[in-house]
Amino acid sequence: MKNLFTLLTVIVLGNLISCQSPKENATMEVMSFDIQVKNIKMGEHDAFVYHLKNSNGMEVELTNYGAILSKILVPDREGNSQNIMLTYEKVEDFINDTYFFGATAGRYANRIAKGKFELDGEEFQLATNNGENHLHGGLKGFNRQLWDGEVIDGLENEIGIRMRYVSEDGEEGYPGTLTTTIEFILGKDNRLKINMEAETDKVTIVNLTHHGYFNLSNMEENILNHEVQLFVAYFTPVDQGLIPTGELKSVEGTPFDFREPRKVGERIEDTGAGYDHNFVVSEVHDGELRKMAEVYHEGTGRLMRVFSTKPGVQFYTGNFLDGKQTTQGVTYSKNYGFCLEPQFFPNSPNEPSFPSARLEPGDTYRHEIVYEFDLK
Q: Determine the average pLDDT of the residues in 164-173.
A: 99
User: Which residues belong to the active site?
Assistant: 211, 341
50 in a labelled binding site: no
**pLDDT tens by residue, 282-305:** 999 999 999 999 999 999 999 999
Range of the domain at 354: 5-375
Q: Across all residues in the chain, what is the average pLDDT?
A: 93
Q: Is 66 exposed, middle or buried (0-12, 13-18, 19+ CB in 10 A)?
A: buried
213 in a labelled binding site: yes
Of 54, 61, 52, 57, nearest to 80 by C-alpha is: 57
- pLDDT value at position 7? 53
Is the pLDDT at 28 greater than 60? The verdict is no
Name every residue whose Cβ is closer than 8 Å to that of residue 280 and which is 6 or more positions away in sequence. Answer: 232, 233, 234, 235, 236, 248, 311, 312, 345
Is the pLDDT at 171 greater than 70? The verdict is yes
Q: In DSSP terms, which residues pair with 3 in a beta bridge?
A: none
How many Cα atoms occupy the beta-carbon half-sphere of 1 within 13 Å?
14
CATH number assigned to the domain comprising residue 70: 2.70.98.10
- pLDDT value at position 2? 39
Which percentage of the chain shows pLDDT scores above 90?
Answer: 91
297 in a labelled binding site: no
- pLDDT value at position 13? 36
Q: Give the residue, 1 or 86, on which the prediction is more confident.
A: 86
- Which is it for the CA torsion 205, 210, 212, 215, positive or negative? negative
65 in a labelled binding site: no
Is the pLDDT at 219 greater than 90? The verdict is yes
Q: Give the residue, 16 or 276, on which the prediction is more confident.
A: 276
Is the pLDDT at 228 greater than 50? The verdict is yes
Is the pLDDT at 45 greater than 70? The verdict is yes
Q: Give the residue, 272 or 223, on which the prediction is more confident.
A: 223
Kindly write down the DSSP assignment for every residue of 57-102, as one continuous string. Answer: S-EEEEETBTTEEEEEEEE-TTS-EEE-B---SSGGGGGG-SS-TT
- pLDDT value at position 6? 53
- pLDDT value at position 262? 98
CA–CA separation, 178 vs 164, rounded Å?
11
**pLDDT tens by residue, 108-135:** 999 999 999 999 999 999 999 999 999 9
- Picking from 31-45, 87-101, 228-242, 340-354, which range would have the lowest pLDDT averaged per residue? 31-45
- Picking from 17-31, 150-164, 177-191, which range would have the lowest pLDDT averaged per residue? 17-31
> How many domains in the chain?
1
212 in a labelled binding site: yes
- pLDDT value at position 249? 98
Is the pLDDT at 26 greater than 80? The verdict is no
- pLDDT value at position 119? 98
pTM equals 0.92
- pLDDT value at position 27? 34
Kindly write down the DSSP assignment for every residue of 164-187, as one continuous string. Answer: EEEEPTTGGG--S-EEEEEEEEEE
Is the pLDDT at 316 greater than 60? The verdict is yes
How many Cα atoms occupy the beta-carbon half-sphere of 258 within 13 Å?
29
107 in a labelled binding site: no
CA–CA separation, 324 vs 332, rounded Å?
7
- Picking from 26-30, 77-81, 173-177, 340-344, which range would have the lowest pLDDT averaged per residue? 26-30
- pLDDT value at position 155? 93
- pLDDT value at position 1? 38
**pLDDT tens by residue, 51-68:** 999 999 999 999 999 999
